[in-house]
Structure 1
Amino acid sequence: MHKSLFVVLLAAGLPALAQAPTPLTAHLDKVSLTFALGANGQPNYTINYEQKPVVQPSRLGLVFQDGQGFDGALTLTGSEIKDVDETWQPVWGEVKNIRNHYQQLTVHLRQKAAPGRRLDVVFRVFADGVGFRYEFPRQQALGNFVVMDELTEFALPADHQAFWIPGDYDTNEYLYTKSRLSAVDNSAQVKKSEEIAVRVAPDAQAVATPLMLKADNGLYINIHEAAQVNYPAMQLHVDRASHRLTARLVPDAVGSKAFLHAPAHTPWRTVVVSDKATDILASKLILNLNEPSKLTNTEWIKPMKFVGVWWEMQIGKSDWKYANSLDTLDAKGQLIPTGRHGANTANVKRYIDFAAQHHLGGVLVEGWNVGWEDWFGNWKENVFDFVTPYPDFNVQQISDYAKGKGVQMIMHNETSGAATNYEQHLDTAYQFMNKYGYPAVKTGYVGRIIPRGEHHDGQWMSNHFVRVAEMAAKHHVSVDMHESVRPTGLSRTYPNWMASEAGRGNEYNAFSIGSPPEHETIMPFTRFMGGPMDYTPGIFKLQNYEPTGKRRVQTTLAKQLALYVTLYSPLQMAADLPENYNEHLDAFQFIEDVPVDWDDTRIVAAEPGDYLTTARRAKGKDEWYLGSITDENARQQPVKLDFLTPGRRYQAIIYADAKDADWQKNPAAYQITRQVVTSKSTLTLRLAPGGGAAVSFKPL
């Protein structure tokens, strides 16, 4: 599925031991990169967009445990430039075809001092940004080595507006802060975010990536990474005076950052830039920097929508655990049930019936397996075996019932953070899924990680997540990982790794202060830059859904519909309870209709933290779906329909906020209208405070 159009090598190589002149440059369209060695022999790079500075001269380098890393003076021994322009097709995604067009500059460096180790820095310049990484060639002087620090810098020219969350070793589930870089201080937020299970953020000036920036000169800049394999996640330390960002790698249990053996390489460091916010969201730079699929057969990978026994647990209607504790036993030594266990056969069949009735592909069930009485907060290894159901969950009966209804069951494997225990059971767990016909699994890592001392975003766990994706692929199972490291485009390499959480999803509206209306307008520019998220949209009962009556989902119902288009995932949950959907089946029709795989995507209008309008064309059909969302401010959003096929007439079904809708005062008020449109038509969508609109376009 990978079709190369052309590759042109330009003769720029220099004799291996000759000192090459600097600076060296590479460019494509409006983006240019310059590499140079400073007077002290330290390498640096610069990025410009047209004549505007994006990254000013910034240091490159790495510190090794043996003191012989690439943090001292280096000699430039040669360089090459090549141009690549190719097109490839993802197994699933937001578009059918992806163009991978870049100019690559490879710089060969050698230490001036003994032992004279060699390092390559590879830059790829795209029309919408730059990716670069360190590569360690095979060499006598470099076998096994330990990276202690990465010196990569992003020296920004001004005090940009930033959308950021704390740089935490174990979670990406904070609310976003909008501030100038000079105001970054995460200490208060980390301390008060008690609803997050594990928080480790020792640097008050550290922010996580993807980091979204808006410059006063009109540029939009996103800093992240791509293809994070066998390496810890990169965070960024903010020098609030100089606006210089410096890489901070998540440490392991002994304080090191990465154990490597040459030949090796780091992940790509990415800078996406444009003078249009819409271009940031349309960028495929991060996907393009990942390797092609390692799976030769991908026909079994199927995007789907699903419902699940999950939200009712989040809001306290039922529970994951079967008994109050492991010590509540009857005379026969059996667990005494509380009567509140959600994952029981009769309840699961109810969800299967709803999925079948509304043509949804799957049903997820959490809390089906023994261990939930002892799973949280104990830092305990052997909690779950991933194959033993509770007495009231009949695996075979449920599987047969679902199959008879044309519905597939989605497995749930919560590890309680004990990744070692999960790895010991991996093959058995996935054989169990194969036996009972589960095509997908949602994994979870709530709690402190075992091996003890490791972090969710460190090198060990990054490799664990890849091992899980590989094991799942071996058994033809797709995976949705929760509490994982944030995505970096690895869904291209492992297309069965279809989604992750790694961010603050809709669930926080169930048990915390929730997420403000601007949250979903920031997430596409931050968390979603690296890949799809299991955000769990589709909540229809927006208030009075939990025992206290104090919490509320901070959107309108129409905005929940729009999220199916604006927040992409090939695994999309209809997260609310069947009975809540049954009260609004006319609105639920949009969830039933909207696809999860696309041939084309157009970012119609966007501004981080304010609004977003996205249109997508269904896979293999001339049907379009549009989602438009706003923050706490009401808006009138004009939408030109020039993405529709010229000369064709479409019926537009518009699911919109009612005139009196408001996320605080009247969130469930919506109206559904129909009209005939063409590619020359324009819609004007009225978005209520915290509101949105969803539109389907089907040809007449």
Structure 2
Amino acid sequence: MKYLLLTISIWFSLTSLGNAQELKSPNKNFNMSFSLLDDGTPTYHLNYKGKEVIKQSKLGLELKEEPSFLNDFSILKTNNTTFNETWKPVWGEVENIRNNYNELAVTLQQKETNRKIIIRFRLFNTGLGFRYEFPEQDKLTYFTIKEERTEFAMTGDHTAFWIPGDYDTQEYDYTKSKLSEIRGIFESAYTPNTSQTQFSNTGVQTSLMMKSEDGLYINLHEAALINYACMHLNLDDKNMVFQSWLTPGANGDKGHMQAPCASPWRTVMASDDAREILNSKITLNLNEPCKIEDTSWIKPVKYVGVWWEMITGKSSWSYTNDFPSVQLGVTDYKNATPNKTHAANTKHVKEYIDFAAKHGFDAVLVEGWNEGWEDWFGHSKDYVFDFVTPYPDFDVEAIHNYAKSKGIKMMMHHETSGSTRNYERHMDKAYQFMKDHGYDAVKSGYVGDILPRGDYHYSQWTNNHYQYALEKAADYQIMVNAHEAVRPTGISRTYPNLIGNESARGTEYQAFGGNAPNHVTILPFTRLIGGPMDYTPGIFEMDIEKLNPDNHSHVNATIANQLALYVTMYSPLQMAADLPENYNRFLDAFQFIKDVAIDWSKSKYLEAEPGDYITVARKAKGTNNWFVGNVNGLEKRNSKIKLDFLEKGKKYTATIYADAADADYKTNPQAYKISTKTVTSKSTLKLKSARGGGYAISLIEK
């Protein structure tokens, strides 16, 4: 990967007023000030176009068993720079990303202890990033964080799109409410999960999206979560102040640190245009450049698999019903009676390989292929899987050879059931097994409580495990799609083999009772701020009873909405999640999934309002073709979009996949219409979106 450094200037927008320091963004829209209170407490304050975004807010950390980094500071020195570069992501929404910011680094010295800390601020054209840095020094070596005390003081009772603060899961529907209402409705927003730990009835998770009464969009998140605990936000709803709340480890400590070290970046994005939040690249830019020298093996993937039939209950992960419990290496699977519902069998997987090859997909994912699924969950069991031993009905070698003959890659599945130690114990052997059998990508899972017992999914220790797995995978040239792991924070810039995460409520919940119809109009403003999601879209049969008579769930979307997700929910890893027989019933609509790109050179956010609608246009990398997606929320809507992003003087064939006039996510979800017309950059399209609906458009150059 090549990085082009355009300019590094010594000019800076900084003024010093006593102990106050001011910093402006390159475009002058943002103004940030830093100052110390009379007791030496560091604070910051942020404005956008003259409007207050963050009121004066305190900074610092509370330490365990020693004086804290909260006050008694004086400014030792300041350093300021301007940075401007353009870099190329391995994959992404755009071909080039500009990284332009003005920086202020404030070195503070604590009077009583003589310890030093640096607070580094970077002000971009779309917002602010800042972090704590602990330089090497005699007075500070090892230290334990009791709590980080970063504040985000709001200017009013904003409308927020939030999910409950939780140390173990993000798999919630979003709740829209005023900040003052969170406490009163918290319990109704907290739905059951296989592993969950709440900490406060005003605690919420990042990325947090808000809108002020005067139309300012505000987003709070973090970037570069490395060797640190995941940050939540706890609201003081009397004063409308959020304070950082780190995920503890098993012993209650929030972080064990060794100087020199740094915290993740805390980010504040703001704009009077919601599209600018979606378009911001702050999270990626605050991460380190790519550390993988040869990235030629990292490629976007469009795949199919047996997953949806298992999630709906039509098929099973387990091979047999003979055993009340199993022990790997002891249980006799060869003489067990097959349950006849096991999806990961050689014959059935070959059918998926045939389907993938016929329709131009890249890969097939198979879950439930390995021994241990009869006894994998809920037992605090360490040695659950070995990740290399297949069931008797799954011929790894035969599948590998058959897929290779069809030009299809296989994707491995590693469910750890939260047993991180067991996964690390088997990781090298498992990754080598993958390479030996032609698997270039792995979907890992962390369902259930974390082992070692008492730890959490988002603690410093467990986050280090996820990072270890990612870096180890890079050693074997394996791409990673981690489910139930900590939500991403832009680390895919540094390690682009992280091609996807779940870390939010995905399509699987459509088979567990359903997602809110406007869920996908919120996720790009929240979960996707940190990186792409393996949302697994493309469901065409909304009535789950037709797959499993015992499952009465309903998919809360129209077919047109499901098509649009391939554009609006950006990911270099996209699954056509439904069963082949359902796609065969709607081959004309399925054509869009076959055609749509998964790697882009340009992206244009045409319309956006969190919770209501998102319309995105993206240009396929290496072509002059564009694809447009619109997802709609709870109310019918008319959409009018200009195609002025198309190349001037060129003609395009527009194939429009739209909701039919009587379409509705609940009553008529499979009603769609397909039309074609010739368009140019001067064309305007007027389209209607149903409740929980949308539209998808392919624009192919003539």
Match of 1:76 in 2: 75
Q: Which position in structure 1 is the counterpart of 2:554?
A: 552
Cα 1:316–1:182 change in 2 (3 A) is: same
| Structure 1 range deviating more: 57-66 or 20-29 | 20-29
| In 2: Cα distance, 1:575 partner to 1:423 partner | 29
In the TM superposition, 1:30-429 aligns within 5 A as 30-114=29-113, 116-185=114-183, 187-189=186-188, 193-194=191-192, 196-324=193-321, 326-327=323-324, 334-429=335-430
What are the superposed Cα offsets for residues 365-406 of structure 1, whole Å, 9 maximum, x if unpaired?
000000101111111100100000000000000010000001
For 2:433, the equivalent position in structure 1 comes to 432
What letter is aligned with 2:647? T
Q: State the SS of the aligned residue for 1:184.
A: helix
Task: Give the SS at the match of 1:652.
Answer: strand
Q: Counterpart amino acid of 1:3?
A: L
State the percentage of identical aligned residues: 51
Cα distance in 1 between the residues matched to 2:44 and 2:572: 37
The answer as to whether partners of 1:252 and 1:458 remain within 8 angstroms in 2 is yes
Tell me the equivalent position of 2:600: 598
Alignment partner of 1:2 is 2:15? no
Seen in structure 2, the aligned counterparts of structure 1 residues 666 and 325 have a Cα distance that, compared at 3 Å, is same
The one-letter amino acid of 2:272's match is D
Matched, 1:577 2:579: yes
Could you tell me the TM-score, scaled by structure 1's length?
A: 0.97
Check whether the contact 2:14–2:24 (CA below 8 A) recurs between aligned residues.
no
The offset of 1:13, in angstroms, is: 12
CA distance in 2, matches of 1:84, 1:12: 12
Deviations 1:286-316 (A, max 9, x none): 1000000010000000101000011001111
How many residue pairs align between the two structures?
A: 692
1:176-195 deviations in Å (ceiling 9; x for gaps): 0000111113641365x22x
Which of 662-671 and 481-490 deviates more?
A: 662-671
- Counterpart for residue 530 of structure 1: 530
Distance 2:528 2:629 in 1: 16
Deviation at 1:326, TM superposition (A): 3.1
- Post-superposition, which runs of at least 4 consecutive aligned residues in structure 1 deviate over 6 A? 11-14, 328-333
Q: How much does 1:514 deviate?
A: 1.1
Q: CA deviation at 1:331?
A: 9.5
Consecutive unaligned residues of structure 1, counting only runs of 5 or more, are none
Structure 2 CA distance for aligned equivalents of residues 563 and 637 of structure 1 = 17
What letter corresponds to residue 553 of structure 2 in structure 1?
A: R
- Partner deviation per Cα, 1:27-78 (whole Å, 9 max, x = no partner): 1120111000011110000000011000000000011112222112111111
Residues in 1 aligned to 2:435 and 2:476: alpha-carbon distance in whole angstroms: 7
Query: How far is 1:325 from its partner?
Result: 5.2
SS in 1 for 2:493: coil
SS in structure 2 of the partner of residue 80 of structure 1: strand
**Preserved CA contact (<8 Å) 1:122 1:134:** yes
- Provide structure 2 residue ranges, at least 5 long, that are not aligned to the other structure: none
SS across alignment from 1:373: helix
Whole-angstrom distance in 2 between the partners of 1:297 and 1:314? 36
Residue aligned with 1:401, SS: helix
Q: Secondary structure at the match of 1:420?
A: helix
Cα displacement (A) at 1:281: 0.2
Aligned counterparts of 1:67 and 1:685: Cα–Cα separation in 2: 63
Contact 1:154/1:246, CA 8 A, preserved across alignment: yes
Give RMSD over aligned pairs: 1.6
Per the alignment, residue 478 of structure 1 pairs with 479
Distance of aligned partners of 1:230 and 1:313 in 2 relative to their CA distance in 1, 3 Å threshold? same
Q: How far apart are 1:317 and its partner, in Å? A: 1.0
Q: 2:173–2:519: 8 Å Cα contact kept in structure 1?
A: yes
Matched letter for residue 264 of structure 2: P
2:542 and 2:621 map into 1 onto residues whose CA distance is 31
Q: Are the structure 2 counterparts of residues 20 and 646 from structure 1 closer, same or farther at C-alpha, using a change threshold of 3 Å?
A: closer
Task: Tell me, yes or no, if the aligned pair for 1:328 and 1:336 is still in contact at 8 Å.
Answer: no
Q: Is the 8 A contact 1:13 1:78 kept in 2?
A: no
Distance 2:491 2:14 in 1: 32
1:450 aligns with 2:451: yes
Instruction: Please tell me the residue identity of whatever aligns with 1:95.
Output: V
Q: 2:667 maps to which residue?
A: 665
Q: 1:325 to 1:294 in 2, by over 3 A?
A: farther
* Residue in 2 that maps onto 1:494: 495
Give the drift of 1:549: 5.6
Aligned to 1:653: 655
- Amino acid across the alignment from 2:313: G
> 2: CA distance between counterparts of 1:485 and 1:91?
22
Alignment partner of 1:520: what SS? helix
Distance 1:12 1:360, change over 3 A: closer
Alignment-mate amino acid for residue 352 of structure 2: Y
